[in-house]
Amino acid sequence: TILRLIYRAEKPDEGQIFVASWDVSKLKGNTIPSLRRNVGVIFQDFRLLSSKSIFDNVALTLRIDGHPFRQIRGKVNEMLKNVGLRHKADSLPQHLSGGEQQRAVIARAMVSEPTVLLADEPTGNLDPETASTIMKLFNEINTKGTTVLIATHHSDLFVSTGRRVIYLKNGEVYREEIG
């Protein structure tokens, strides 16, 4: 729920939520897309367009924002390379494994260099080695200024990261530590 509140798929019943310069709790319907252009979301259920290639799925937000094709091609190819899917650019989502689809979703969320990156169980379909690679990618974009918020049941991913880890139970913070 916390991720859905942050990218305003749900409206909070009370209180305030600030994301970058926006008070998410007060956003009107016509301003929500502006928020979402600055928030990358990695969905647990992928939400890839089945009739579009992996390249086109990753390029979608850049196309919507009106980037020139040359820039789109460069950014998408680099991001696909970063997640180990450059060789699958022309494939349709249904021809990829669950782990490959997960990496395509990660590439799509990161390609537009969002201010905030929200990840719902981003390593759930990945083997340990690939999960470690993805966590390194998250760390890299975080060091470049992107806030990364990960919801996961795999707290072992944060061991020795030096990153803040907040544990929630029933919507309440019950523990906080540096990983």
Kindly report whether the global pTM for this prediction surpasses the value 0.75.
yes
Task: For residue 41, give every residue at least 6 positions away whose Cβ sits within 8 Å of its Cβ, in sequence order, or none.
Answer: 3, 7, 109, 117, 118, 119, 120
Tell me the domain boundaries of the chain.
37-178
Q: How far apart are CA 103 and CA 100, in angstroms?
A: 5
Residuewise pLDDT in 10s, the chain (179 residues): 789 999 898 988 888 899 888 899 888 888 888 888 889 999 888 999 999 999 999 999 999 999 999 999 999 999 999 999 999 999 999 999 988 999 999 999 999 999 999 999 888 878 888 888 888 888 888 998 999 999 888 777 776 677 888 888 888 888 888 87
| CATH placement of domain 37-178 | 3.40.50.300
Q: Following DSSP, what letter does each residue of the chain receive, concatenated?
A: -HHHHHTTSS--SSS--EETTEEGGG--GGGHHHHHTTEEEE-TT----TTS-HHHHHHHHHHHTT--HHHHHHHHHHHHHHTT-GGGTTS-GGGS-HHHHHHHHHHHHHTT--SEEEEESTTTTS-HHHHHHHHHHHHHHHHTT-EEEEE-S-GGGGTTS--EEEEEETTEEEEEEE-
Q: How far apart are CA 2 and CA 171, in angstroms?
A: 8
